[in-house]
Structure 1
C-alpha cells in the first residue's frame, strides 16, 4: 500500500484568498499537518522496496521541503500577493528566507539606483529585478572610490573623493564620468532588458544612446539628463510619451555643458506632450523659451535652477497657454534686461509663483515678472537675498493673491509687509517664518484686523514672537473658536 501527495491545483489566487481551502485548514492546524507528513514518511519507508530509487529520492525531497518550508505548497502568485502586502522595511529580511523568496522579492522591486556599472552590463540586473520601471544610473556612471571617507555632495549630484590624492584633484573632473560610448552601451542593454521603463536618470549620454531607449521603451515618461548639450537633445525627439523632463547643463564644481536656443528648439519640436520641464544651468534666450511655450502647449510647470538666460527672455513666458506653476531655484538673477512687451499680455493661467534661494536685486526684472504674473494666486519667498521693502512693494500689483509665504527674508520689515498686504483684498493664507525684522510690537491695528480675517495663519518671524500685545482686542481667538465649532462640537467629546 502506497500514498503519494499531490500538489493542489490553484485556479485563481484571489479565489483562494477569499474562500478557505484544505491547505488553509492544514496551515492553521500545525499539529495535524505534521502528523500527516509523519505518516507519509513512515509509509514511504515501509514501501521502500517497491519504489524506484529516483521516485524515492523525489518523494524524500518533497517531504523535506514541506517540513522545512510550509510555504512551498503555495503557488508563486499567492506568495507574491502576500509579500506585496508587507511593508517595504521587511523586504531585506524576507529575501533571506530562501532562494525562492529572494527571487520573488526581486520581482516586487520596481525602482533601483545602480551603483555598479558592471552589474548592468552583465545582465544580472534584469535577472535579479525583472520588473523594473524606475532606474537611476547617475551614481553608477561616476568613477570614484567607494571606500573613501571624503564625500562631496550637491543637490543634483554627489560622489566620493580619493583621500590619498592631491587636494588639487579632489574636485570633480571630466574624467570622473564614464565615456559616452560606455554610457550608450549600458543604455542599449537597459532598453532591451526593461521594455516597460518609465523613469530614467542618466549622465553623459549621447544622441544614439537616448535613441535606443526611445525605440525600445515607448512607455518612458520621466527623463533626467545630466551633463547634456544641444546634440544630445536630438535623441529626445523620439520619446513620444515623455511628460516630465529635467535638463542639467552646468553644475558648479562638477561639470560644464551647454544647452542653448538650438537645443531648446529641438526639444520643443520633439516633446510636445511635456507637462513639467526643469532647466538647470541651461543657457538660452527669448527665442528658445518662446519655442517651448508655443510647441509644448500642455506644459503646466516650469522650473529654472541657476539659469544663464540672456536678457529679455521673461516676455516669452506670455506665450504659455496652460502654465500654472513657475519656480525659480538658486538663480543669481531673474532677467538682466527686464524688458516687457505690453502688447503680448500676461500669463493668465499662472497660479503659483515660487522663489527659493534667489537673488532679487534687479527692480526692473522683478517688476516685469510681476506684470506677467498678475493672475497668480500663490506666492512663496524662501531664503531670498535682496528682498527689502522696496522690492517687496512691487508685489502689491498681485491683487489676486490668496496665499503668501515669507521665510527667512531678513531685510523685510513690518512696514513693508503691511504696505503690500493692504492691496491684497483676496488673501486668505499668510505664513511668516524666520523674518527677524518683522516685529510683533510694530503691528498696526489695520494689519491686525487683516490677520483676523485669515483662514490659515502662521506667525513665527523670530523665536521671541508671541503675537499677544499686537493682536489684543481683534477678536481673532473668538473667530477661531467659531471655526472650530463648525468642524467639531467640543461638548460632545468624551469627558467634556
Structure 2
C-alpha cells in the first residue's frame, strides 16, 4: 500500500466530498430494495441520512429487511439468540424468525403483545401460561409435561394441584380467540382446560392446524375438535393421577372419530374408554398409524377392537397398570395384522393371560421394545414365543428376566437381526449357553450390556478409583460433643 503524500491528499479530498459519497451510498441502498420500496423513497431526505459516520456505525443499514432476514436465518439457534441486543430493528427481525414458543405469561397473549413480538409463530405451547401459581414460592414441582410453583399453605399433601391453579375455561377461550385471529398459519398447539367454543374458534381460523395437545379435556371439549379437518396428531389427557381428574369416555372418542378422519397419530392418556370407543376410532380414523395409551383407564375387552384399526403400524403402552384383563383361554381375539412395532415402557406386566392376548393380537410385529416393565419374568416373557416375525428386540431395565428366559424365546426367532439388552441384572455372561452365540452370529446389530455395574467395576480395576475417597470418611480427630455450645 502506498502512503505517499499525493495519495494521502487524494484520500482527504475524497472524504471531504461527502455529497458524492452520499450519492454512492444511496445508490447502494436502492439496489437492495424492491421496486415498490424504491418508489416510496425520498432522495432528498434519505441522502442526508447516509453519511460516512452512519455507514461506519451500522453497516447493515444498507440492507433491506428481506436480505437481512435471509442472512440471519442461516445462523444456528445458539448464534441467533443474542441478535436482538444489537438494535430495535434487529429485535423486530429476530422476532420474525421465531417459529416456536413456550408461553409463560398469559397476559402477554391476551394483550396482543405476543403477535407484535413474534408474528410468524406456527408452534405455541400454552400449558405453563394457563397455570396460576405463586411465583415467589420456593417449592417448584415438575410433572412430565408441565412445571409449576406450589404454595406453602397446602392443605392436603396428596392433592396439591386443583382447579384453582388453572385458568377457568372462559379465560382460556378468550386467549384462544386472540391466538386464532393473530396466527392463522398455526400448525401446533398445546393448551390446558379449553372448552368447546375456544377450540372451535381455533379450528375455524387456523385451517392449517395439524397437531393438538389437550389437557384437562372431557367429552364436551372434543366437540370443538370436529372442525379441525386437517388435524393429524392429537394428544388427549383426561385423568392424571395426583394432578387433575377429567373424563374422556366412549362418547368423546366417538365424537372424535366422526370429526377427525385424517388422524395419523393418537395418544390417549388417562382416558376411560372401552371396546365401543376404540372401535369407533378404528372405523372413523382409517388413516391412523400410531396409537399410544398412557396410564389408560380402559374397560376390559377394549383390546378386541384393535382389529378395526386396519392401517395401525405402531402400538405403544406407557405407564399402564394393566393391559386388558377380560379374556378367557378360548376367546377369539382377532388379529391386527398391520402392527409392526410394539412398545411397552414403565408398565406393570403381572398377568400372563393379558400379555399373551396382546401378543396374539399383534402377532406380526417386527419390532418389540420392553423398557422398565415391572413383573416381567421368564414365565411372562415366554408368551413372546408366538411372535415369529420379530426382527428387532430391545430389552432395558427388565431385572427379573434371566439368561435362560431370554434364550428360550429368541432361539425360535429366525428373523431376528437386532438385539439390545441393557441393565437387566439377572442376565449374566457366565450363564450363556452355546445356543445364544449361534443366535448372535446371525445378528446385524448387537448391544450387550446386561449388567452395567459389573462392566464398570471391570473397567475401573487397577486404577484405584473408588478408594481415593476413603480418607474423607475416616473417623474425625475431634469429638463434636466436646465442641463449644454442645
Q: Same fold (TM over 0.5)?
A: yes
The 5-angstrom pairing of residues 101-120 of structure 1 reads: 101-120=90-109
Residue of structure 1 equivalent to 2:255: 266
1:196 pairs with 2:157: no
Deviation at 1:158, TM superposition (A): 2.0
The 5-angstrom pairing of residues 291-440 of structure 1 reads: 291-338=280-327, 345-440=334-429
SS in 1 for 2:189: strand
Matches of 1:340 and 1:115 in 2, distance apart? Answer: 53
Deviation at 1:451, TM superposition (A): 1.3
**198, 219, 235: which one pairs with 1:209?**
198
TM-score, normalised on structure 1?
0.82
Deviation at 1:57, TM superposition (A): 10
Instruction: Report the count of equivalent residues.
Output: 426
8 A contact 1:112–1:132 mirrored in 2: yes
1:149 pairs with 2:138: yes
SS in 2 for 1:331: coil
Residue of structure 1 equivalent to 2:122: 133
SS in 2 for 1:246: strand
Segments of 5+ residues of structure 2 without an aligned counterpart are 1-16, 35-42, 456-486
SS in 1 for 2:70: helix
8 A contact 1:202–1:224 mirrored in 2: yes
8 A contact 1:304–1:328 mirrored in 2: yes
Residue of structure 1 equivalent to 2:83: 94
Matches of 1:254 and 1:426 in 2, distance apart? Answer: 44
Residue of structure 1 equivalent to 2:437: 448
1:178 pairs with 2:174: no
1:255 pairs with 2:244: yes
1:82 pairs with 2:103: no
Residue of structure 2 equivalent to 1:59: 48
Matches of 1:341 and 1:287 in 2, distance apart? Answer: 22
Segments of 5+ residues of structure 1 without an aligned counterpart are 14-53, 467-496
Shift in CA distance, 71/303, structure 1 to aligned 2, threshold 3 Å: same
Deviation at 1:156, TM superposition (A): 2.7
Residue of structure 1 equivalent to 2:273: 284
| Moved beyond 4 Å, runs of 4+ | 1-4, 54-58, 60-64, 164-170, 339-344
1:187 pairs with 2:176: yes
TM-score, normalised on structure 2?
0.84
> What per-residue deviation string (whole Å, max 9, x for no partner) do you get for residues 450-490 of structure 1?
11211111111113666xxxxxxxxxxxxxxxxxxxxxxxx
Residue of structure 2 equivalent to 1:122: 111
Deviation at 1:133, TM superposition (A): 0.3
Matches of 1:199 and 1:283 in 2, distance apart? Answer: 25
SS in 1 for 2:344: strand
Deviation at 1:10, TM superposition (A): 3.4
Deviation at 1:173, TM superposition (A): 1.4
> What per-residue deviation string (whole Å, max 9, x for no partner) do you get for residues 293-314 of structure 1?
1111100000000000000000
Deviation at 1:422, TM superposition (A): 1.6
Shift in CA distance, 340/124, structure 1 to aligned 2, threshold 3 Å: farther
Deviation at 1:336, TM superposition (A): 2.2
8 A contact 1:403–1:430 mirrored in 2: yes
Deviation at 1:60, TM superposition (A): 5.1
8 A contact 1:220–1:239 mirrored in 2: yes
Matches of 1:220 and 1:446 in 2, distance apart? Answer: 53
8 A contact 1:338–1:366 mirrored in 2: no
> What per-residue deviation string (whole Å, max 9, x for no partner) do you get for residues 39-79 of structure 1?
xxxxxxxxxxxxxxx96897257655333211000011110
Shift in CA distance, 60/157, structure 1 to aligned 2, threshold 3 Å: closer
Matches of 2:229 and 2:312 in 1, distance apart? Answer: 21
